[in-house]
Amino acid sequence: MKKAIIYINQFFAGIGGEEEADHQPEIREGLVGPAMLLNQLSDAEVTDTIICGDNFMGSNEEEAVEKILGFLEDKEFDIFFAGPAFQAGRYGNACGVIGKAVKEAFDVPVISSMNEENPGVDMFKKDIYIFPGGKSAAKMKDDMAKMAELGNKILNGEGPLTAEEEGFFTRGIRHQVWLEDSKPAADRAIEMLLKKVNGEEFKSELPIPKIDRVPIAEPIKDLSEATIALATSGGIVPVDNPDKIQSASATRWGRYSVEGLDNLPNREAGEFKTIHAGYDPAAADANPDRVVPLDALRAYEEEGRIGKVHEYFYTTVGTGTTEAEAARMGQEMVEYMKDEGVDAVILTST
Amino acid sequence: MRLEIGNFPVEDIVFGEETSYNDGLLTINKEEALEVVKEDEHITEADLVIARPGEEKRIVPVKEAIEPRYRLNGDATFPGVTGKVESVGEGRTVALKGCSVLAVGKHWGSFGDGLIDMSGEGAKYTYFSKLVNVCLVADTDEEFEREEQQKKNHAIRWAAHRLAEYLGETVKDLELKEEEVLELEPITKRSQDVNDLPSVVYVMQPQSQMEELGYNDLVYGWDANRMLPTLMHPNEVLDGAIISGSFMPCSSKWSTYDFQNCPTIKRLYAEHGKTINFLGVIMSNLNVAMDQKERAAMFVQQIAKSLGADAAILAEEGYGNPDADFIACFAALEDAGVKTVGMTNECTGRDGQSQPLVTLDERADAIVSCGNVSTLIKLPPMETVIGELEALARDGLSGGWADDEKLGPSVKEDGSIIMENNSMFCGDQVLGWSPKTMKEF
Amino acid sequence: MANLIPVAETVGANRMVPTISIPYPLGDPESSEDEQWKLRYHRVGVALEALETAIDEQTVFEV
C-alpha cells in the first residue's frame, strides 16, 4: 500500500489556538486531527502527522523547514498533504512553505487546499497543487475529499490531470493535449469567433497570464567609478563555440574575455561569430560589435565616462529558449558578475 | 472568383510502366518522374520512395510537402515557382487527394526540416502520417550551404514542386467524379442577406523573417519579406499562389500542402452566407524589426477597417519573436473594433512552465492554441528510414541535438530517438487541422 | 537594449533602450561604417544614461 504523510498546524492538532502558535515542529506516528479523515478518504495509508505552530513557521521558517525535512529523511512516503488551510493566512503560508520544500527535497506530489482569499494561494500555487477551499473548518470534509481524490488519481497513475478537470488552481504549467473529440483548430476558432461576435461568453485556450514584474534596480551613482559588463542573448561566441552553446533552445551559456580588445574581431578573422539559429547571421558574423557593442563601450571607458569594461562578456542564445532556462542562466551569470565587482550590465538582445 | 478543383482520391501509389491514375491507384514511371526532378542540374542524386500510412517508416529530414496539382489551362501550378507568374484562384485545377510529395534530404538536414513517422506513437504528431507520400529523396551540389544550419534547400524544394505538377498532370484528361467549387462574389456585389451577416477576414502571417532572399514563404514567387500586407482572394491561397519556405522550426511551419488545403479557409467558406460574410484573406507577413512589425500591423488594421470587417481570425507561422508580430496585429485589430480570434502554438518549455508567448497583451483575449513546440518526445526505432536519421542529431534541426548532458544525442545507436516537438513535420497545424490544444496541469 | 521592446516589457525589463533590428541591433550593414559607429556609440550612451536614472516603473528611454 502507498504511504502518505500530512502537515497540520497546532490548532487542528488539538494543541491550542493563538496561545500555542509558537509550538515547535514535531512528528507523530499515526493519525492526529484531520489526518484521520484523510486516512479514510485516501487510497494511501497515512502513516504520520507533522505538526507545527503557525507563528513558529512564520518567524523561524528556516529552522522549521530544516527540522521537518529532518523528520522525513528516513520515512517512506509516496505523497504529501498539507492542510486544508481555509482562510487562515499564516496556516496557508505554512502549508505552502513546507509543501514546496518537501516537493523539492523528496520529489513527491504535494496537495493542499486553501480559500481563494488566502495569500498562500498566489504565493505557492505554482509549486504545489492547491484546491480552492472553504472559508472555515465547516468545509473540512469537502476540502479534504478533493485533496484525497486528486491524490488517489496520482497514486493510481490516472491522468491527464488538468486544472480544468480536477479543479485545482492553475499553476502556470501548460502542456499540449489531444482533444478527446479531436475537434480541429479551425472549428474551434470559428466557434470562438461566432461567440465573440455575438457577445456570448467564450473561453480562450490561452488565458493571458499576469505579467511578471522585476524589482527595479537602484541607479548607478557614479558611472565613472562603475564596472560595466556586456551580455547578450544574440549567440556571439568564439568561432569554435568552446562551451557548445546550443543554437536554439539553449540551456548553456558562456563568458569570454575581452581583455585587450577594442572591438570583437569577426568570423573571417577566426575570432567571434554568432551561433544563434533564429536570425540571419550575416551581419553579426561580419561585425559582432553590432550585437555586443564592445567598441562603443571601450570608447566611453577611454573618455572616463565609465570606470571600466568588465573583463568578460556573457552570452547565450535566446531563440526557443524557455523563460525558465533563461532565468536560471541569468542567475548563474549574475553570481560571477557579483563576485567580480560588476556594478551594471548592458544586455543586448537580437 | 470561382475556382473548381477536380478531386481524384489516391488510395495507393505504385511504380510501373506508365504514369497514370486509375480508380484510386496512382502509378508512377519512376524514370520519367526522376527526369522531371533532374531538370535542375544541381540535383546530383535522386530517388522516389513511397511511404504509406501504417508502414514502419521514419522520414527525415523532410523539407517540404506538396499536393500534386495541375491547372487545366496549362498555366503554372505554382506561379513564379514552376512557371510564369499568372494569376491563380480562378478556373479549373485538378488535384490528387490523400497524397503528397515530400522533399527529403538524402543526407543533409537544416534548421527548418522535420520528421514524419508513418505508424506507431510518432504518427500522431504530424498530419502527413495519414497520407500516401511520394518521398523525393535527393542530394544536391549546393556546396555553399552544406555546412550551414540554415539552408535554402532550393534545388530539392523546386524539384518537389515540379514533381507535384508532373503527377497532377496525370489526371488532366480524366473524367471528373468529384468537384469542389470555391466561389466568393466580389465584396461589393453581395446580397443583402449576406451583407447583414458579421463580416470576417482571415489574416495570415506567413514566415518571412530572413532578410536574405531564398528562405522565406513566396507569394506568387515573390519573397514575403519584401511585401506589405495585402488583400488576397482565398482561392489564390488554395490554388498554389503561396509556397512554403525553409526557415522556421518545423512544427510551426506551414507547408505548401497546408496552404493548398488550408482548413481555416475551407471552414470560413462553409460558414459563408450562413453565419458569416467571408470577406477574404489579408496576407501579412513576419518581420525582424519592431517598426516593420508595427507597420505590418497598421496595414492589416487599415485594410480590415477599409473593408468594414467586423471580425478576424489571425494566424502566425512561428513562435518566439513572431509572437510580437502576432500580438501587435491582434491589438491593432481589436483597437479598430475588429473582434479577433488568434491561432498559434506556444513555447512553454519541456516542463511547461515558461511564458506561452514572448509577448502578451490583455487585448488578445481569444486564442486557439495548437501545441507546445518544446514538448519532449521519445520514439522507438522504425524498420525503415527514408532519408538519413543522423541528420536529426547532426545538422541542427530545431528539435534535435548532437549531444545533451542529461539526454544524450537525439539519435540513439538502436535507431530510437529523442527530440522536441519543434522538429515534427508541420506538426502544430496552426492553419486549422490541429487536434491539439494546451491545458493547465 | 532590444528591438522587440514589447518582449522586453513582457519579461519584466525595467530600463530599456530600443535597437534597430533583430539581426543587427546596433549597426545596419546597409549604412556606412561611420553611421553604424555613430548609432552604436549614441545608443550605448543612452543605455549608460539609463543606468544613472532613477525610475519608478518600466521605462523605455528615447533614442
Pick the CATH number of A3-166 from 3.40.50, 1.10.3470, 3.30.70, 3.30.1490: 3.40.50
Average pLDDT over residues A60-83: 96
Type of residue found at B289: A
pLDDT tens per residue across all 441 residues of chain B: 999 999 999 999 999 999 999 999 999 999 999 999 999 999 999 999 999 999 999 999 999 999 999 999 999 999 999 999 999 999 999 999 999 999 999 999 999 999 999 999 999 999 999 999 999 999 999 999 999 999 999 999 999 999 999 999 999 999 998 999 999 999 999 999 999 999 999 999 999 999 999 999 999 999 999 999 999 999 999 999 999 999 999 999 999 999 999 999 999 999 999 999 999 999 999 999 999 999 999 999 999 999 999 999 999 999 999 999 999 999 999 999 999 999 999 999 999 988 899 999 999 999 999 999 999 999 999 999 999 999 999 999 999 999 999 999 999 999 999 999 999 999 999 999 999 999 999
**CB interface of A with B, residues 263-322, below 8 Å:** 277-282, 319-320, 322
pLDDT 10s digits, A16-65: 998 999 999 999 999 999 999 999 999 999 999 999 999 999 889 999 99
Residue A212 has pLDDT above 80, yes or no: no
Residues of A in contact with B323 (CB under 8 A): none
pLDDT 10s digits, A96-125: 999 999 999 999 999 999 999 998 998 899
Residues of B in contact with C23 (CB under 8 A): 211, 288
- Distance between CA atoms of residues B296 and B293, nearest Å: 5
Can you give the pLDDT at residue A324? Answer: 78
Q: Is the dihedral of CA B140, B144, B148, B152 positive or negative?
A: negative
Interchain pair C6, B355: CB under 8 A: no
| Nearest 10 degrees: Cα torsion A148, A149, A153, A156 | 60
| DSSP class per residue in B207-267 | ----SSTTSS-EETTEEGGG---EEE-HHHHHTTSEE--S-S-GGG---HHHHHT-HHHHH
Type of residue found at C5: I
Q: A278 pLDDT band (50/70/90 cuts)?
A: confident
Residues of C in contact with A216 (CB under 8 A): 14, 55-57
Question: Considering chain A, what is the average pLDDT of its residues?
Answer: 95
Q: What percent of chain A has pLDDT over 70?
A: 100
Search chain B and give the residue with CA nearest A202: B366
Can you give the pLDDT at residue B116? Answer: 98
Interchain pair C24, A212: CB under 8 A: no
Which ipTM did the prediction report?
0.97
Interchain pair C5, B288: CB under 8 A: no
**3-class state of residue A207 by DSSP:** coil
Please state the length of chain A.
350
Chains in contact with C, where contact requires at least 3 CB pairs less than 8 Å apart: A, B
Domain boundaries defined on chain A: 3-166, 223-348
Give the closest-approach CA distance of C63 to chain A in angstroms: 15
- Split into its structural domains, chain C has a count of 1
- Distance between CA atoms of residues B132 and B126, nearest Å: 13
Interchain pair C3, B289: CB under 8 A: yes
A223, A279, A286: residue with CB nearest C51 = A223
Q: How many CB atoms lie within 10 A of CB A199?
A: 8
Three state DSSP letters for chain B: CEEEEEEEECCEEEECCCCEEECCEEEECHHHHHHHHCCCCCEEEEEEEEECCCCCEEEEEEEEEECCEEECCCCCCCECCCECCCCCCCEEEEEEECEEEEEEECCCCCCCCEEEECCCHHHHHCHHHHCEEEEEEEEECCHHHCCCCCCCCHHHHHHHHHHHHHHHHCCCCCCCCEEEEEECCCHHHCCHHHHCCCEEEEEEECCCCCCCCCCCCEECCEEHHHCCCEEECHHHHHCCCEECCCCCCHHHCCCHHHHHCCHHHHHHHHHECCCEEEEEEEECCCCCCHHHHHHHHHHHHHHHHHHCCCEEEEEECCCCCHHHHHHHHHHHHHHCCCEEEEEEEECCCCCCCCCCCCCCCCCCCCEEEEEECCCEEEECCCCEEEECCCHHHHCCCCCCCCCCCCCCCCECCCCCEEEEHHHECCCCCCCCCCCEEEEEC
Interchain pair C23, A280: CB under 8 A: yes
Q: What domain range is C39 assigned to?
A: 5-60
Phi and psi dihedrals of A291, rounded to 5? -105, -40
Three state DSSP letters for A79-99: EEEECCCCCCHHHHHHHHHHH
Q: A320 pLDDT band (50/70/90 cuts)?
A: confident
Type of residue found at A138: A
Can you give the pLDDT at residue B379? Answer: 98
According to DSSP, the β-strands at A308-315 and A227-232 are parallel
Please state the length of chain C.
63
Can you give the pLDDT at residue B430? Answer: 98
**CB interface of A with B, residues 218-257, below 8 Å:** 244, 246-249, 251
Query: Of B432, B426, B437, which Cα lies nearest the Cα of B127?
Result: B426
Q: Measured between CB atoms, does B144 come within 8 Å of chain A? A: no
Can you give the pLDDT at residue A58? Answer: 87
Can you give the pLDDT at residue A132? Answer: 98
B425, B114 in Cβ contact below 8 A?
yes
Interchain pair A189, B432: CB under 8 A: yes
Search chain A and give the residue with CA nearest C40: A296
Q: How many CB atoms lie within 10 A of CB B273?
A: 16
Interchain pair A349, C11: CB under 8 A: no
Query: Of B214, B218, B203, which Cα lies nearest the Cα of B255?
Result: B218
Residue A210 has pLDDT above 80, yes or no: no
Output the furthest CA–CA distance in chain C (Å, rounded): 38
Average pLDDT over residues A338-343: 96
pLDDT 10s digits, C1-27: 999 898 898 888 999 999 999 999 999
Q: C51 pLDDT band (50/70/90 cuts)?
A: very high
Give the closest-approach CA distance of C3 to chain A in angstroms: 7
Residue A211 has pLDDT above 80, yes or no: no
Among the residues of B290-349, which ranges form H helices?
Answer: 290-307, 322-335
Residue A323 has pLDDT above 90, yes or no: no
Q: Which residues contact B251 (CB under 8 A, 6 or more apart)?
A: B114, B125, B345, B371, B373, B399, B421, B422, B423, B424, B425, B426, B427, B428
Q: Which grid cell sits at B356?
A: 506561452
pLDDT 10s digits, A159-183: 889 999 999 999 989 999 999 999 9
C3, C11, C23: residue with CB nearest B290 = C3
Give the closest-approach CA distance of C47 to chain A in angstroms: 7
